[in-house]
Chain A
Amino acid sequence: MKPIVQVEKLRLAFPGSKNMLFKDFSVSFNKGEKVLILGPSGCGKSTFLQLLSGIIPGSIDIPCRAEALEIPQEWGYVFQDPDAQFCMPYVDEEMAFVLENLQTPREKMAERMEELLSAVGIRLPALHTKIQSLSGGMKQRLAIASVLALKPEVLFLDEPTAMLDPEGTKDIWDTLKKVGRDKTVIIVEHKIDHVLDFAGRIILLDGNGNLMADGTKGEIFARHRTELREQGIWFPGVWEEYISQIPAGSKSIPANGKEVISLSDFKGIHGKEVKIHVDDLKVQAGEWVVITGKNGAGKSTFLHALMQFIKTKGNYLLKGKRILKGVNPAKEVAFVFQNPEFQFVAGTVYEETAFSLRMKGLEEGNIAAMVENTLRVFALEKQQHLHPYQLSTGQKRRLSVAASIIADPDILLLDEPTFGQDAKNTFAILDKLEEFRKKGAAIIMVSHDEQIVEGFATRVLAIDHGRIIKNEYILESERAGMTCTV
């Protein structure tokens, strides 16, 4: 059978970079195959997908060469950030944009839109609905609907659920499995739980974009466990392995831990609405609090209120000091944004990492040593001269964490710092945070990962509709797996 997508002896290098990302890379895909591409963060998976679809070099100009390159006629590409792929303000106008490109007659458009939206499970009271009013999951489904309008033979999916909560993630994958059944689907994804029962074939890349293995799912997980582990890629069972090597008894909170955050009748206000309301909450040094909840429940808003990004009311004591209007808590608190791009203030990875230290007025010699060390821990040394926006998704996230914890803070607020990350780097981030906690820092972090809760959290807060609905200590098993509700 003639392959539907094929590339032979591919070579690709970014302008100005010495190393080649792909060197004589060959692979081919048959019609109807469901393929998962696995590899460590930054190895070139997204780049590869863009190349297979012709986005590189068609829309993004990057020098590349291949002896043979077969790109599908009809393809669709789902990007990871829902917001970055719409060009019109309303649902119907956005769908119309695609249909117009395909020269669909005007009379047929409304019908076709209904058809496509129902295929992805979107039911709206009216087609003319603002895209901005949709949830992240809905937006991503809309993106899939417009991709389906293209009647693609091949679907390219680059971490389509990177911005979604577990429920939204499951939804999107269910949708994709349904609409992708009779198509060729090529997927890049770190969190493989939902993908494994869909993809039949796995392609394994190493850190430099070399092909390590290519085979059926069963083969790869049976024969290539060592490679998977070495490259730090997620595979079933890796969490268990990692958690089992954490020394027992490490989850204890120091008994004399000082109270670092104390809230009572605390409200975060956005516009004129109270978006988060905390009756009473105290956090002490050495705690690792994980906040869970659905998309839109108010988790990020809670962190934003603590950072005073939004208006707040009520009592807020930070290390015993009252935080009043106009006080910037950032002197005591490090913050990692949910969207790492929001955080970047400098023009290169190196400068970005050094920024907080410069602000503190440290000596240049010390700064260099600290920055180099941090970049090594987060596997960003090779990228230090790039612009933060040029990094891969996982690298961006790592940089945002690295840059905010470098100044050695003792209170850390993090908004999903391990999303879109490979296993190795997730563990590196967690190890680093645990090190801080052991030194007496307090960590408050939004996360959907069950495993982080199990392995690291000393307390879980569940937020729903702007209220804390669960506040539970999770202490180690030696203390009889005791969870006590407060």
Chain B
Amino acid sequence: MYIEWSPKETWLHQINPSLKLLVIISLFTVMLLIDDLNYLFSFTIAVLLLFILFTGHPFKRILLFSIPFFVVFVSTSFTMILFGKGETTILKFGLIHITEESFYRGLLVGLRALATAALGLTFALTTKPVLLFYSLMQQMKLRPAYAYSFMAAMRMLPIMAEEFQTIRHARKVRGWEGKKGAGGFFRKISAYSIPLLSQSIRRAHRIAVAMEAKRFRMAGQRTYYYQTGFSWNDVLFIGYFLVVLAAGYYFSAEWPYFKQVNF
């Protein structure tokens, strides 16, 4: 997640977080509906452009983040390509049977996975969680009770990771030896997760008490430290995808990169 590193602020950071979230969710739906390979290909390129050029993170980090995507892309498309069904055979070798249909279908699924991941990560890399919640409260009228519960919970995540370590130490100190093997593994999981959960619940309760002691009320007016509003960047963001969708459609009809196949 964002938290540790501080990238350069780009126009993607300055988009209203709620709006960004909404746009990205609608793009996810649009992507599910596209089953034209050419169209999806243009779209994926457009998303990758944003991801690589405008998140404000150094290239090395972007490259690092791209590795899992690449793996996802290759693995999903290849399973479809190698073992899919179809009529126009390209290659047949034992179990492996590549047909034109399976090839295109595989590419389509792979691209969809790639675009989804890149879009999601672009969002995560350019959105501060705190700002997202502030924006949700201001623009989407999310109730502060929920927003602040989420923010407090996020603060607890690293604490929980530490806690896991602590519980491990506590058991070690008290002479609890984990058994080897699969049975031991599951015993270990249950031995850790129950106290971890119960401690988290108690801790959460304590933070809730402290929050209420600071006059946090479930309902009621409040002011906002971070003011989130709209700007030309929002227009640019929406415009970018409108253009991409329109142009992609046009290109796929006029100058397809791939042969059009129906499947």
B148 to A, closest residue via Cβ: A87
Give chain A residues whose Cβ lies under 8 Å from the Cβ of B88. none
Counting CB contacts under 8 A, is A341 at the interface?
A: yes
Q: Within the complex, which residue of A106, A342, A359 is in contact with B176, where a contact is CB–CB below 8 Å?
A: A359
In the complex, the answer to whether A104 meets B173 with C-beta atoms within 8 Å is no
Residues A342 and B152 in contact in the complex (CB < 8 Å), given A93-B225, A307-B173, A359-B175: no
> Min CB distance, A319 to chain B, in Å?
17
In the complex, the answer to whether B175 meets A360 with C-beta atoms within 8 Å is yes
In the complex, the answer to whether B213 meets A87 with C-beta atoms within 8 Å is no
Residues A59 and B212 in contact in the complex (CB < 8 Å), given A87-B155, A335-B173: yes
A407 to B, closest residue via Cβ: B175
Give chain B residues whose Cβ lies under 8 Å from the Cβ of A103. 221-223
A63-115, CB < 8 A from B = 76-77, 79, 81, 83-89, 92-93, 96-106, 109
Residues A344 and B170 in contact in the complex (CB < 8 Å), given A88-B151, A146-B214: yes
- How many residues on chain A are close to B (CB under 8 Å)? 54
Give chain B residues whose Cβ lies under 8 Å from the Cβ of A345. 167, 170-171, 174, 176, 195
In the complex, the answer to whether B174 meets A330 with C-beta atoms within 8 Å is yes
In the complex, the answer to whether A106 meets B225 with C-beta atoms within 8 Å is yes
Bound together, the chains give a CA A330 to CA B216 distance in angstroms of: 44
Bound together, the chains give a CA A463 to CA B215 distance in angstroms of: 42
A95 to B, closest residue via Cβ: B225
Q: Within the complex, which residue of A89, A93, A342, A356 is in contact with B166, where a contact is CB–CB below 8 Å?
A: A342
Q: Which of B148, B169, B222 has the most chain A CB atoms closer than 10 A to its own CB? A: B169
Counting CB contacts under 8 A, is B203 at the interface?
A: yes
Bound together, the chains give a CA A330 to CA B211 distance in angstroms of: 39
* Binary CB contact string for chain A from 306 to 323 against chain B (1 if under 8 A, 0 otherwise): 010100000000000000
Counting CB contacts under 8 A, is A477 at the interface?
A: no
In the complex, the answer to whether B151 meets A87 with C-beta atoms within 8 Å is yes
> Min CB distance, A52 to chain B, in Å?
12
Q: Which of B155, B171, B174, B176 has the most chain A CB atoms closer than 10 A to its own CB? A: B174
Q: Within the complex, which residue of B175, B210, B223 is in contact with A100, where a contact is CB–CB below 8 Å?
A: B223
In the complex, the answer to whether B210 meets A85 with C-beta atoms within 8 Å is yes
> Min CB distance, B218 to chain A, in Å?
11
B156 to A, closest residue via Cβ: A87
Bound together, the chains give a CA A101 to CA B222 distance in angstroms of: 6
* Binary CB contact string for chain A from 22 to 33 against chain B (1 if under 8 A, 0 otherwise): 000000000000
Bound together, the chains give a CA A147 to CA B170 distance in angstroms of: 34
Counting CB contacts under 8 A, is B262 at the interface?
A: no
Bound together, the chains give a CA A87 to CA B167 distance in angstroms of: 23
Bound together, the chains give a CA A359 to CA B191 distance in angstroms of: 14
In the complex, the answer to whether B148 meets A330 with C-beta atoms within 8 Å is no
Give chain B residues whose Cβ lies under 8 Å from the Cβ of A337. 166, 170
Main secondary structure of the interface of A (DSSP, over half): helix
Counting CB contacts under 8 A, is A161 at the interface?
A: no
* Binary CB contact string for chain B from 131 to 165 against chain A (1 if under 8 A, 0 otherwise): 00000000000000000100110110001000000
A331-357, CB < 8 A from B = 331, 334-335, 337, 341-345, 355-356
* Binary CB contact string for chain B from 198 to 221 against chain A (1 if under 8 A, 0 otherwise): 010011001111111111110001
> Min CB distance, B222 to chain A, in Å?
5
In the complex, the answer to whether A343 meets B130 with C-beta atoms within 8 Å is no
> Min CB distance, B120 to chain A, in Å?
23
> Min CB distance, A303 to chain B, in Å?
11
Counting CB contacts under 8 A, is A150 at the interface?
A: yes
> Min CB distance, B175 to chain A, in Å?
4
In the complex, the answer to whether A55 meets B222 with C-beta atoms within 8 Å is no
Give chain A residues whose Cβ lies under 8 Å from the Cβ of B177. 328
Q: Which of B130, B202, B222, B223 has the most chain A CB atoms closer than 10 A to its own CB? A: B223
In the complex, the answer to whether A102 meets B207 with C-beta atoms within 8 Å is no
> Min CB distance, A11 to chain B, in Å?
22
B10-65, CB < 8 A from A = none
Give chain A residues whose Cβ lies under 8 Å from the Cβ of B154. 89
Give chain B residues whose Cβ lies under 8 Å from the Cβ of A309. 169, 172
Counting CB contacts under 8 A, is B263 at the interface?
A: no
Q: Within the complex, which residue of A59, A100, A344, A360 is in contact with B224, where a contact is CB–CB below 8 Å?
A: A100
Q: Which of A59, A76, A77 has the most chain B CB atoms closer than 10 A to its own CB? A: A59
Residues A330 and B151 in contact in the complex (CB < 8 Å), given A59-B209, A84-B206, A84-B207: no
B206 to A, closest residue via Cβ: A84
A50 to B, closest residue via Cβ: B209
Q: Which of A53, A99, A337, A343 has the most chain B CB atoms closer than 10 A to its own CB? A: A343
In the complex, the answer to whether B202 meets A389 with C-beta atoms within 8 Å is yes
Counting CB contacts under 8 A, is A1 at the interface?
A: no
Bound together, the chains give a CA A356 to CA B177 distance in angstroms of: 12
Counting CB contacts under 8 A, is A60 at the interface?
A: yes
Q: Within the complex, which residue of A59, A106, A355, A356 is in contact with B223, where a contact is CB–CB below 8 Å?
A: A106
Counting CB contacts under 8 A, is A231 at the interface?
A: no
Counting CB contacts under 8 A, is A458 at the interface?
A: no
> Min CB distance, A233 to chain B, in Å?
27
> Min CB distance, B219 to chain A, in Å?
12
B154 to A, closest residue via Cβ: A89
Counting CB contacts under 8 A, is A374 at the interface?
A: no
Bound together, the chains give a CA A226 to CA B1 distance in angstroms of: 60
Counting CB contacts under 8 A, is A404 at the interface?
A: yes
Name 17 extra pairs, CB < 8 A, besides A76-B213, A86-B210, A309-B172: A53-B213, A55-B209, A84-B210, A85-B207, A85-B213, A88-B151, A89-B155, A98-B215, A100-B225, A101-B216, A307-B169, A307-B173, A337-B166, A341-B199, A344-B170, A359-B174, A404-B174
> Taking beta carbons and an 8 Å cutoff, which residues of B are in contact with A?
3, 130, 148, 151-152, 154-155, 159, 166-167, 169-177, 195, 199, 202-203, 206-217, 221-225, 227
Q: List 18 A-B contacts (CB under 8 A).
A: A53-B213, A59-B213, A83-B159, A84-B210, A87-B207, A88-B152, A99-B223, A100-B222, A104-B223, A147-B214, A307-B169, A309-B169, A335-B173, A342-B170, A343-B170, A345-B176, A360-B175, A389-B199
